Amino acid sequence: MIDFKYLYSQIPFGLEIAPIHHVGFMIPSKLSYLDLHTFCDKSCTIDILKAEVGYKKVNNIIVEVIKPIDERSILYDRSSKLSEITFDHFGYSNSNLVLDDIKHLKISKFHTCLFECEVEFLLVDKIKIEIVYDSL
């Protein structure tokens, strides 16, 4: 079971740099048996990541969960070191985020079936963020 209300209580509010589109949490590999279709309002598989993703809205915030499918996933190494579902990133709508003067490193950009748009991952001050190029 995934307790989305508990995950909401674990969001590190105060670290966000703009209005939040969503908050992502990583599921540890030891919980790979969880069926996201059962717990989430929407879920799908992102082939490029070899990961299942899903979300549920809690208090008007989209709480996303990410589950590597197997050890071939780019996310598996981090997931295998976790003992519980853990905060991973803040997601921001591109219309709410201005990075002109903020140093950042681009990690990846791809289409996500979860939000049905392009997303891009960046590192900003050693914190991973996701830019959503459309919104729900």
Give 133 or 134, the one with higher predicted confidence. 133
Q: Are strands 42-46 and 86-93 parallel, antiparallel or unpaired?
A: unpaired
The terminus-to-terminus CA distance of the chain in angstroms comes to: 25
- In the chain the domains, ranked by start, together with CATH numbers, are 20-132 (3.10.180.10)
Averaged pLDDT, 92-103: 86
Strand order in the sheet with 51-58: 42-46, 51-58, 61-68, 22-26, 86-93, 127-132, 117-124, 105-112
With cut-offs at 50, 70 and 90, classify the pLDDT of residue 109: very high
Read off the pLDDT of residues 17-34 as tens digits, 9 standing for 90 and up: 889 999 999 999 999 999
